[in-house]
Structure 1
Amino acid sequence: MSVESRGIPALGELCRRGIVAAPMAGGVSRPELAGAVSDAGGLGFLAAGYKTADGMYEEIKQLRALTAKPFGVNLFMPQPSADQATLDLYRQQLTSESAWYETPIDERSEERHPTDDGYEAKLALLVDDPVPVVSFTFGCPSRDELDALALAGTFTVVTVTTPEEAQAAEWAGADAVCVQGIEAGGHQGTHRDDPQTDGSSGLGLLSLVTQVRETVQLPVIAAGGLMRGAQIAAVRAAGADAAQLGTAFLACPESGAHVMHKQALKNPLFVRTELTRAFSGRPARGLVNRFMREHGPYAPSAYPEVHYMTVGLRKAAARVGDAQGMALWAGQGHRLARDLPAGRLVQVLHSEADSAWTEMALRRSTS
């Protein structure tokens, strides 16, 4: 059954310019950023990760006051608990950071830092008071959960990193998949974190989009290292229906990223990105700094426990102006970041993509 036949707007109606602002947790994807993107004809997103259900709802209310256009909310799927002995070993690894920043390492409790990220409460709220789009990261919801959102009139998107994950999302009843290539900044949205790997064996975006397009019949949103309109045109040519950009919006004035994070995107001190578990316990791409070099080799597969273990240290590093101790999430295209207002950036990207698409059409007609 198509989304239209269920009374749910199609992806093209929700995102008229084919540009999605990636949900970036940790305070980056503020209502101001999401609203500016949506007002410009893109699809703005709020990131509910690490927030309570009430905190998520407050941001939804703020965003509704800023725009009447469609927007999305992203949820993190619940994760299994990590082995305590493994966590204790990494805690010892971080004692030098605790001493350096004069900050205690956070003692996690299930009540304060649940591994399910308050998923059920957030989902219940979104079913009761629907938003246009809900996306999921770190797994795929059940058919019952996706059906409940569909009955509420919500378009659902599941983040995938392999054709097999895309197929599972299609079987579960998702309306679209967000296909995330290895180039993407922040966390890799794999449905399972293999502790035997560092996450670097993932597929590049163009190859992944092509494989997913040949595997499922769902609309495809392409994500991973996209910073220019020509790249958007390229993934559209490969079969994507829309493009999702995160790092491209990180430097915008509406972004809630720390000023040092924004400056680091083009700072010659930070020349490359890598995937690391150092900050959160799950593979995530960021600018290589001292913390990543010193602790990445020892970080366990233990998300979100490691995230909560290091959050105080990261905040302390930001307070004293030390970017070497912060999680500087960024995709491989970070050098191409532009500090334009978000709405203006959507317009520029759209114009660039149209020009690139026209050029490709001319080349095809003359070849």
Structure 2
Amino acid sequence: MSADFLPSRLPIVQAPMAGAQGVDLCVAVAGAGGLGSLPAAMLTPAALREQIGAARARARGPINVNFFCHAPPAPDPAREAAWREELAADYAAAGLEPPAPRAGPGRAPFDAAMAEVVEATRPEVVSFHFGLPDETLLARVRRTGAKIYSSATSVAEARWLDARGVDAVIAQGAEAGGHRGMFLTDDIDAQPGLFALLPQVVDAVGAPVIAAGGIADGRGIAAAFALGARAVQIGTAYLRTPEATISAAHRRALADARDDSTRLTNLFTGRPARGLVNRFVHDHGPMNPRAPAFPTATAAVAPLRAHWEAQGSGDYSPLWSGQAAALAREEDAGALTARLWRDAGAVAAALGSFLRPSS
């Protein structure tokens, strides 16, 4: 299956997951016919250029490169000091000295340097989270011939993206793991679940819609298509593949996950993201007003994460996960991609038979 907006053979987009994957996952999905993705928000331009080159050398299909386009926050020393105070007991329990104020290993927004990488490497798809970059940067991406996608968590955001000419809108339901793509509001309680959001977005925009959130098997894919999606984006199901780069602690937590195991939390980056509850989320959140603005909260948490991960613990790690983690299996990413589409076809065929009017 192909469409003008989608360069891959299968309508399955592997969600770009910064910090949880590298080139291997992208290559495996692309090789199976899906759209493999590379997350760029935590990379330098040089590192991204290297990863795209490595993917190009190995992938047998098109790739998507994903960028964040948030506005960097103004310095807020008082809030950062309050956050360090919040974590003082955690540092003492770990036998660590509280860190001095510093920039963290955060996420950078799309800029001119990254636009140069896109122009040089020409990925088939460029996707964005948190809206779109400014018109000058967006025009540079368009001139490469790349298809442009972006995430919407509401009908209003979908209309905003559609009015700016995106090639596809990614409708992100509340079930999705990782950061909310919201950019017109910060009211996380207003984000609809995918079953409510998807058909309303389909009705509201002219662009094709890609469904994201809580899709981890053929049933979810078939349901998304029944609601008007033209493709699906899947993240959490790929976290249990050997190609994902998550820690052993994260893998154990995913294997034990239930439907009620996740929460939206701002503790790790300063912006709401869905992950599995661990000690840090339990003790300080899940939402904490002291957490500095995205992405500066990361710096104070990073030493605690490193300390406990070295001991095999995920107590202070961002265990990103969607609500359908319990449906995920340990499986090679290429085999998973093929099976998901095969299973979706079987479900659709069964539904067609079930729904056919009796004579």
Whether the aligned pair in 1 keeps the contact of 2:151 and 2:169 (CA below 8 Å) is: yes
Aligned partners of 1:348, 1:178: CA distance in 2, in Å? 22
Which residue of structure 2 lines up, in the alignment, with residue 310 of structure 1?
A: 301
Aligned partners of 1:50, 1:200: CA distance in 2, in Å? 27
Distance 1:81 1:108, change over 3 A: farther
* Letter of the structure 1 residue corresponding to residue 349 of structure 2: T
Written as runs of structure 1 = structure 2, the 5 A alignment for 1:1-367 is 10-12=4-6, 14-26=7-19, 28-82=20-74, 83-104=76-97, 107=100, 109=102, 116-117=108-109, 119-192=111-184, 194=186, 197=187, 199-267=188-256, 272-296=261-285, 297-298=287-288, 299-300=290-291, 302-366=293-357
Distance 1:15 1:275, change over 3 A: same
Distance 1:151 1:33, change over 3 A: same
Whether the aligned pair in 2 keeps the contact of 1:139 and 1:190 (CA below 8 Å) is: yes
Aligned partners of 1:302, 1:103: CA distance in 2, in Å? 24
Distance 1:304 1:36, change over 3 A: same
Distance 1:192 1:107, change over 3 A: farther
The more displaced of 68-77 and 184-193 is 184-193
CA deviation map 1:212-265 (0-9, x unaligned): 111111011111011111110101110111111100000000111112111111
* Letter of the structure 2 residue corresponding to residue 135 of structure 1: S
* Letter of the structure 1 residue corresponding to residue 318 of structure 2: A
Aligned partners of 1:189, 1:61: CA distance in 2, in Å? 27
Unaligned runs of 5+ in 2: none
Aligned partners of 2:41, 2:199: CA distance in 1, in Å? 29
Aligned partners of 2:348, 2:133: CA distance in 1, in Å? 35
Q: Per-residue deviation at 1:269?
A: 9.4
Q: Per-residue deviation at 1:309?
A: 2.7
Q: Per-residue deviation at 1:331?
A: 0.4
Q: Per-residue deviation at 1:173?
A: 2.1
TM-score (norm 2): 0.92
The more displaced of 38-47 and 295-304 is 295-304
Aligned partners of 1:227, 1:115: CA distance in 2, in Å? 27
Aligned partners of 1:259, 1:193: CA distance in 2, in Å? 35
Q: Per-residue deviation at 1:169?
A: 1.1
Q: Per-residue deviation at 1:352?
A: 0.8
Aligned partners of 1:215, 1:193: CA distance in 2, in Å? 19
TM-score (norm 1): 0.90
Q: Per-residue deviation at 1:156?
A: 0.7
* Letter of the structure 2 residue corresponding to residue 295 of structure 1: H
The more displaced of 136-145 and 268-277 is 268-277
* Letter of the structure 2 residue corresponding to residue 329 of structure 1: W
Number of residue pairs matched by the alignment: 354
The more displaced of 250-259 and 291-300 is 291-300
Sequence identity, in percent? 36
Q: Report the secondary structure of 1:74's partner residue.
A: strand
* Letter of the structure 2 residue corresponding to residue 206 of structure 1: F
Q: CA RMSD in A?
A: 2.2
Distance 1:244 1:118, change over 3 A: closer
Q: Per-residue deviation at 1:93?
A: 0.4
The more displaced of 171-180 and 222-231 is 171-180
Q: Per-residue deviation at 1:311?
A: 2.3
Aligned partners of 1:193, 1:173: CA distance in 2, in Å? 21
Q: Per-residue deviation at 1:108?
A: 5.3
Q: Report the secondary structure of 1:210's partner residue.
A: helix
Whether the aligned pair in 2 keeps the contact of 1:276 and 1:285 (CA below 8 Å) is: yes
